[in-house]
Amino acid sequence: DVKVTQSSRYLVKRTGEKVFLECVQDMDHENMFWYRQDPGLGLRLIYFSYDVKMKEKGDIPEGYSVSREKKERFSLILESASTNQTSMYLCASRRGQGGQPQHFGDGTRLSIL
């Protein structure tokens, strides 16, 4: 069974802090993704990666960066946290291309005060 693990379920940070969200998957998946989910807006893609050290912007990359130094780990970085980045953050991974489903981690509820 696929396991996608996010480092924290709940996180509270202050405006201006640099925030790291970590995600690890144990199924040797090539593709990894970061989303945020807000009421009424659904899932929005922030960044994704299809290989080690490769990354592509999603639909809302502003204010975020990512790092994929190892295949199993994909980190999301909030360079200078702002209150509008308070959200549920979901990491996902997927094998190969095209027809495979994505598997999600439990999510991190991030509050920026």
Partner 1 sequence: RKEVEQDPGPFNVPEGATVAFNCTYSNSASQSFFWYRQDCRKEPKLLMSVYSSGNEDGRFTAQLNRASQYISLLIRDSKLSDSATYLCVVNSGDTGRRALTFGSGTRLQVQP
Residues 6+ apart with CB under 8 A from 75: 20, 21, 22, 23, 66, 67, 68
Nearest distance, CB of residue 17 and partner 1, angstroms: 24
Question: CA 29: distance to chain centroid?
Answer: 15
Q: Which is nearer to partner 1, 73 or 109 (CB)?
A: 109
Residue 5 lies near partner 1 (rule: CB under 8 A):
no
49, 64 in Cβ contact below 8 A? no
Q: Does 107 bind partner 1 (CB under 8 A)?
A: yes
Examine residue 52 and tell whether it contacts partner 1 (CB under 8 A): no
C-alpha to C-alpha distance for 75 and 64, rounded to whole angstroms: 10
Q: Does 40 bind partner 1 (CB under 8 A)?
A: yes
56 binds partner 1 (CB under 8 A): yes
Encoded tokens for 51: 């290989």
- For residue 7 the two structure tokens come to 């480092």
Of 28, 62, 84, 101, the one binding partner 1 by CB under 8 A: 101
Q: Which residues of this chain interact with partner 1, rule CB under 8 A?
A: 31, 33, 35, 40-43, 45, 48, 50, 56, 58, 88, 90, 92, 94, 96-107, 109
